[in-house]
Structure 1
Amino acid sequence: MGFSSVYLYQHSGCLGSTLAVMKKSSKFLPVIGWSMWFSEYVFLERSWAKDENTLKAGLKRLKDFPRPFWLALFVEGTRFTQAKLLAAQEYAASMGLPVPRNVLIPRTKGFAAAVSNMRSFVPAIYDVTVAIPKNQPPPTMLRILKGQSSVVHVHIKRHLMKELPETDDDVAKWCRDVFVAKDALLDKHLADGTFSDQEFQDTGRPIKSLLVVISWSCLLLFGAFKFFKWTSLLSSWKGVAFSAAGLAIVTLLMHIFILFSQSERSTPTKVAPSRPKSGVELSVTGRDKQH
């Protein structure tokens, strides 16, 4: 899940009840992946033949979710890189689709399934577009751990669920049209440094989140102090060595997590083949067909 998305959920007051559709391997990430697993996120293998039933079952469970929730669905299906953009452009050109400049081609099967299964109990869809201003560093896990801030611009548009088309094919077309509009919106941001002529609204930093962080930090520090005092780990060289080894393991796990969070290390996208002369359509992006 993108860090900018987490920031949005935090400001909306829904971070504690936010769910997402994620790649299956994400649940094995140290700490954060495990928390996603226990929070009943929906994990997919990015193969529609395997994921269709898993996705539909996971979405139906949300009907009885005890609290208001947000479900994050990243319709592009993978993290953005220039190599993937090139593959998406070649695919679009070969299939007669609008050639994207700033986004990837959405995988609409999963989105259409989500709309179909949640139409009766989800009132709206929020179309979120995130852009990083020029000369600003992107938000990364490493910057967060270093306490370094990042600036992002966010454009949000609300679509009522009842206004969406009824059939899956029409929903898929609606989604593709939204991404064409999103592409043009990002063109404007690249040219003008803003999404629109309206003034930016600085959301600031919520006091509640600061209090939660301070409270948990104090609790963990107190617990660590009591633990070391009770075990006397720091009173002998053996205890010091054991503590250092534990710290090294935690550092290694965090390093793995940081590497995993880098978009450059995500699964490479295969270049889509040109449309064959026989007219048979081929759909190849990433490791499986678009969905």
Structure 2
Amino acid sequence: MQVAEAKGLPKLKYHLLPRTKGFAVTVQCLRNVVSAIYDSTLNFRNNENPTLLGVLNGKKYHADLYVRQVHFNSFLITDQNSCNVMKTLFCQERDAFQEEYYRTGTYPAVPIVPPRRPWTLFNWLFWALLLLYPLFKLLINMINSGSSLTLASF
């Protein structure tokens, strides 16, 4: 906060003060290569903080992801100073989105839930059946052979 006051930048409640030099160089190099950049924010519902131990124990975390596309031609970047101003505005907007999320539990935009795709299940079932079939066939042949030595060695 003291650095923001010293530089005359706005105080951000939920984000750190942006480091704009690397962002400025990246934007100037990518401007002729890509047409847009993506700004994303990830929050977990009910103020949950996921941990590696929680994930390994199978605890479910519900996340909300906010993604917006910003076209390069929607803003004019001529030098590093204008890029710094743009990055500061991005951080102010993200801080406002974060404030809205903590207040209401949703982002200000209309939520989009992607439809479930059955092809992933079909793909998993296909490969599971293809790879497990020889194992089950071997087990059935061992049981049908009746040899106690074969059954004991497995």
TM tier, smaller? 0.5 to 0.7
The residue aligned with 2:5 is: 93
The RMSD of aligned alpha carbons is 2.9
Give 1:152's match in structure 2, choosing from 42, 63, 76: 63
SS at match of 1:100: coil
Q: Relative to structure 1, is the Cα distance of residues 94 and 209 closer, same or farther in structure 2, using a 3 angstrom cutoff? A: farther
Pairing of 1:201-212 with structure 2 (within 5 A): 201-203=112-114, 211=123
Q: Which residue of structure 2 lines up, in the alignment, with residue 192 of structure 1?
A: 104
Classify 1:206/1:94 alpha carbon distance in 2 versus 1 (closer, same or farther; 3 Å). farther
- Segments of structure 2 that go 5 or more residues without pairing to the other structure are 135-152
For residues 108-127 of structure 1, what are the structure 2 equivalents within 5 Å?
108-127=20-39
Q: Residues 13-162 of structure 1 correspond to what in structure 2 (within 5 A)? A: 89-135=1-47, 137-162=48-73
Q: Which amino acid aligns with 1:151?
A: H
Instruction: Write the letter of the residue equivalent to 2:59.
Output: Q
CA-to-aligned-CA distance 1:143-166 (integer Å, 9 cap, x gap): 333332211222222111222323
Larger Rg: 2
Match for 1:146: what amino acid?
N
Change (3 A) 1:180 1:134: same
Paired with 2:10 and 2:79, the residues of 1 have a C-alpha distance of 22
Q: Which runs of 5+ in 1 are unaligned?
A: 1-88, 223-234, 236-291
TM-score (structure 2 length as normaliser): 0.68
Moved over 6 A (4+): none
Code of the residue aligned with 1:196 in structure 2: it is P
Q: Give 1:204 shift.
A: 6.0
In the alignment, which residue of structure 2 is the partner of 1:168? Answer: 80
AA aligned to 1:147 is: G
Aligned residue pair count: 129
- Can you list the C-alpha shifts for 1:96-141, whole angstroms capped at 9, x where unaligned? 2111101111111111111111111111111112222225x23333
Question: Does the residue aligned with 1:134 lie in a helix, a strand or coil?
Answer: helix
1:261-290 deviation digits (Å, cap 9, x = unpaired): xxxxxxxxxxxxxxxxxxxxxxxxxxxxxx
Percent identical pairs in the alignment equals 26
Cα distance in structure 2, aligned partners of 1:208 and 1:142: 31
